[in-house]
A = this chain, B = another copy of it.
Amino acid sequence: MNNSIIPETLKKVVEEISQLPGYGEKSAQRLAVNILNIPRGEALKLIKTFMEMLEKIHPCRQCGIYTEEELCPVCRDENRDKTIICVVEESFDAFAIERTGKYNGLYHVIGGRLSPLEEITPEDLNIESLLKRVEENPVKEVILATNPTVEGEATASYIHNLLKNKKIIVSRIGYGLPFGAVLENADDFTLSKALEHKTPI
């Protein structure tokens, strides 16, 4: 008459999923049970695809976008404007900006945002490599496209401080995004507008 009726491997799965950002015990249980509920063949296929993803995908050597190649398609593309770097928190933010078709520069994925609460400090983000890229390449502009949240703003501000004495334009992605929103979830039109209205800091 206690938790001991929960199978050990199920407890283990729930515990491991709970560690993922955004997951608690209940949502972890839900995911585990959803996967147990689908036909076993489909579940195994899903797990196999996950495994394949983990084997093949890694960050682009230059910009950090998740890719199956050494360099991502953006960094490989000769037609992209190599003088502009758009700084985003996650690969999916870059994918969202690509969907707008309005941006022709390069990216830099910092891999998160500064967060005192989650103990994420500048050292945990790919900021050093951004500074190195700016120094070693003919970069004219850096667009800070971290999320328009408190933490995203703080991160943009931190990077701006590091870049402001270099002879480049530093812009913040234009509002049009409601404050508190998550960039990845923005519709394409809003995201296009935000890029169009980027303002120098």
Write the residues of chain A forming the contact surface with B, with a CB cutoff of 8 angstroms: 1-10, 12-13, 16-17, 19-23, 26, 29-38, 40, 42-47, 49-54, 56-57, 65-68, 72-74, 90-92, 94-95, 98-99, 101, 103-104, 111-112, 184-185
Q: A107 CB to closest chain B CB, in angstroms?
A: 9
Q: Is the pair B50, A13 in contact by a Cβ cutoff of 8 Å? A: yes
Inter-chain CA distance A66–B43, complex, in Å, is 15
Q: Is the pair A5, B44 in contact by a Cβ cutoff of 8 Å? A: no
Please classify the interface of chain A as helix (H, G, I), strand (E, B), loop, or mixed, using the class held by over half of its residues: helix
Q: Is the pair B53, A10 in contact by a Cβ cutoff of 8 Å? A: yes
Given known A98-B2, A99-B3, contact A34–B20 (CB-CB < 8 A): yes
Q: A40 CB to closest chain B CB, in angstroms?
A: 6
Q: Is the pair A57, B10 in contact by a Cβ cutoff of 8 Å? A: yes
Oligomer copy total: 2
> A56: nearest residue on chain B (CB-CB)?
B9
Chain B residues contacting A3 (CB-CB under 8 Å) are 95, 98-99
Q: Is the pair B26, A184 in contact by a Cβ cutoff of 8 Å? A: yes
Given known A30-B22, A66-B36, contact A56–B7 (CB-CB < 8 A): yes
Q: A110 CB to closest chain B CB, in angstroms?
A: 12
Q: A29 CB to closest chain B CB, in angstroms?
A: 5
A-B CB contact pairs (8 Å), 7 listed: A1-B104, A5-B65, A10-B66, A13-B50, A36-B91, A37-B112, A43-B54
Inter-chain CA distance A31–B2, complex, in Å, is 30
Q: A31 CB to closest chain B CB, in angstroms?
A: 8
> A23: nearest residue on chain B (CB-CB)?
B34
Partner of A67, one of B7, B21, B22, B68: B7
Q: A55 CB to closest chain B CB, in angstroms?
A: 8
